[in-house]
Amino acid sequence: MRRCVVCGKGPSVGYEVSHANNRTRRRWYPNLQRVRVVLNGQTRRVRVCTACLSAGKVEKAR
């Protein structure tokens, strides 16, 4: 599942618009990284977006 476990950020949807203004549906996926973090005292491997990683919202496991 493409969703950040910290902030819940998931895919957003919209249109891909060609030069002739033809519109087709598309999705933008968040930049998720699999990292080892400490959650509730346990080390788990979860998917976290890079915005949460750079903001320091997760405690990485050592």
Task: Give the model confidence (pLDDT) of 3-50 as tens digits.
Answer: 999 999 999 999 999 999 999 999 999 999 999 999 888 999 999 999
pTM: 0.81
Quickly list DSSP for 8-60. ----EEEEEE-TT--EEEEEE---EEEEEEEETTEEEEEEEEHHHHHHT-S-B
